[in-house]
Structures are given as structure tokens and as C-alpha cells.
Amino acid sequence: MTVELKNDRFLRALSRQPVDRTPVWMMRQAGRYLPEYRATRAQAGSFVKLCKAPDLACEVTLQPLERYPLDAAILFSDILTVPDAMGLGLYFEGGEGPRFERTIQTAADVAALATPDMESELRYVMDAVRTIRRELDGRVPLIGFSGSPWTVATYMVEGGTSKNFSRIKGMLYDKPELLHSLLERVTRTTLDYLNAQVAAGAQAVMVFDTWGSILTPKTYHTFSLDYMQRIVDGVTREAEGRKVPVVLFTKGGGPWLEAMADTGCDALGVDWTTDLAEARARVGDRVALQGNLDPAVLYASPEVIREEVRQVLESFGHGPGHVFNLGHGIHPEVKPEHAGAMIEAVVELSPAYHR
């Protein structure tokens, strides 16, 4: 499967190589703001069923690429497929977000976790990767992803999205060795998972650490960053004769950018609470940066969106090493034309930063 890549801007930017313009994609680019996504999800029956049907997952992955001149596709799936396959039973309750039938509270719960086989229990994900690569036919690269072990563990312990993270933080302080044993299991499965995605055709991988920022500086290092370090060290970094870049994204991780760059990853996702000029000054030429338009800017008019895009491009400044993105996922209420205005502004305004 060594189809020539027609557009490699995204991969070049992640390696800080020169590009003609700043590449752009959006976190959650296949999602509820698109009517065609909602129609395919209805056809599948539910979000989980959509994830588990490779042909439909491929269809929704490609939908935003039909609308916009995006420079990357991202596998349509979820970070919670991993704990689901480890035996916790993922489901979504109407508009309530993710839930698990079983949670992790004790050492016996950790011991009872399954070690899923990537080509059986998680085969539907690998089939989606293979199908998407075939259908993309080299148009743009495909991003694979996982959650960070810490972020995935928050869902496994809390049983869903949480406000105070009382259970996992109680565990962190009362029974740190129990939490480490859970993180150890999740890390091993996550590494298998990402490596299977690369073997199936993922051309870059991104690790989403959505909840790293609820930790203290010290516990961020021991309970989140150390496990992401193991992922950076263990993930396949080359395939099909090309580098497979690794992007780490801790939402709210501004205080820890230097430490994240020290893992040896290729790029950092940055949210809108950190200025890109400051981030760039701090990490220097060690990593590329991806971000960081406030997703709420997309509620504004196309004229305002264009000006805000210009400010993000200006904050990174001239030269390679920037991938334009939102600072977090696109909101479901955003009008598709407003996402289009953002992408168009990047296409039109960014060449000036690469001359």
C-alpha cells in the first residue's frame, strides 16, 4: 500500500520542513455540526454502532474533506474504544456523554481487565483505517489516535465524564500504586493499539490528554506525562518509507510545554489559553506546534473569523513548524459555513508566512 501522497503539507509541517502554506485540519472535523454526519449516524443507529461499522466510519471520515480543502483526515473513532475492548462496556445515554457498565475501583477490577487483540476485539478500528486509506487514495495523510493513559483512566474510574474527578483523584492520593497498575495496563494496550493503527495505514498519530490539566505539576509528571513518554518511546516512528510523526496534546497543558517537548515527540497540540509566539519561544526548534484558534470564534461572523485566523497565523509567525487547528474540538452548534470561512482564511492568508 505505498500510494504516493498527493498532499504532504501536514506531514512536512510536523517535521518542521518548508511548506507553501500552513496545513489545516480540525479536531472533531467529522462530527455533529455536519448534517451529513448526523444522517450517517442515524443510519448506523448510534454513535457506538457508527464507530463499529468500518464502511460508515470511513464515510464520515471523508465527509469534511468533500466540503473543505483540509490537509489531513482523522480516523473516525473514539478514545474510549480501548477501555470498551478491555471489558468495561461503553455506551452513550442520549446526550449524556459516554458511560461504562463497569468501572475500576479495586486491584481485582484491574486484574479482571482483558488484554484485547488488535485484529479481533479492535479489528473494526483497523478495518476502518484500511478502508479509509484505500478510499483516500493518497489525497491527504490519515491521522490515527488514542487517549493518553491518564485521560482514558479517568473515564474507567469515574464511569464517564466527571466534574470533580473525585474517584480517580481519591485513588491517586490514597492508593497511588493501584492507579499506577491501571495506567500500566492501559499504556500497554494503548501502545499495541497505536502500533496496530500504524501497521494498518495511519500516517501520523496523536495522543489526546484531555484531562492532564486537572493534575498538579508533580502529579502531571508521574501520572500523565511519564506514561505518554512510554508511548513516544514505543510507538512505530516510521512506515512506508516515511516518518510517522507523534503529536502530544494536553488540553490546558501550557505550563508543561517544555517537559512535553522533552519526550522526543514531533509536535505539540496547543489550546487557546497559550499564545503561540510564547509557546514557540519556549520549545524552540525541538517540536512543531498545532493549534490554537478558540473554537468559540466560529460562533462569530466570517469577517471576524478571518481576522482571528490572521492573528493566530501572526502569533506563530514566519517559517515552518505550524499546523493550523482549533484549540479543541469543533462545537456541534457551529454553522458549517463558518468552519469553511476559517479554512478558507488559512488557505488565503498563510502563504505570506512561508515566503
Residue 71 contacts ligand CP3 per CB under 6 A: no
Q: Does 74 bind ligand CP3 (CB under 6 A)?
A: yes
Nearer to ligand CP3 (CB atom), residue 29 or residue 195? 29
Cβ closest to ligand CP3, residue 78 vs residue 344:
78
Among 83, 98, 149, 253, binds ligand CP3 (CB under 6 A): 98
| Residue window 239-278: x/- pattern of binding to ligand CP3, with contact defined by CB under 6 A | ----------------------------------------
Residue in 68, 193, 208, 316 binding ligand CP3, rule: CB under 6 A: 208
Select the span of 74-82, 195-203, 222-230, 282-290 touching ligand CP3 (CB under 6 A). Answer: 74-82
Site for ligand CP3 in 308-337 (CB under 6 A): 329
- The residues assigned a catalytic role are 28, 32, 41, 78, 155
Kindly indicate which of the ranges 77-85, 187-195, 261-269, 304-312 contains the residues binding ligand CP3, using the contact rule CB under 6 A.
77-85
Binder to ligand CP3 among 9, 12, 28, 185 (CB under 6 A)?
28
3-state secondary structure the chain: CCCCCCCCHHHHHHCCCCCCCCCECCCCCCCCCCHHHHHHHHHHCCHHHHHCCHHHHHHHHHHHHHHCCCCCEECCCCCCHHHHHHHHCEEECCCCCEEECCCCCCHHHHHCCCCCCCCCCCHHHHHHHHHHHHHHCCCCCEEEEEECHHHHHHHHHHCECCCCCHHHHHHHHHCHHHHHHHHHHHHHHHHHHHHHHHHHCCCEEEEEECCHHHCCHHHHHHHHHHHHHHHHHHCCCEECCEECCEEEEECCCHHHHHHHHCCCCCEEECCCCCCHHHHHHHHCCCCEEEEEECHHHHHCCHHHHHHHHHHHHHHHCCCCCEEEEECCCCCCCCCHHHHHHHHHHHHHHHHHHHC
Residue from 32, 67, 237, 243 binding ligand CP3 (CB under 6 A): 32
Q: Which stretch binds ligand CP3 (CB under 6 A): 30-38, 197-205, 236-244, 333-341?
A: 30-38
Site residues for ligand CP3 per CB under 6 A: 27-32, 41, 47, 74, 76, 78-80, 97-98, 145, 147, 161, 208, 210, 329
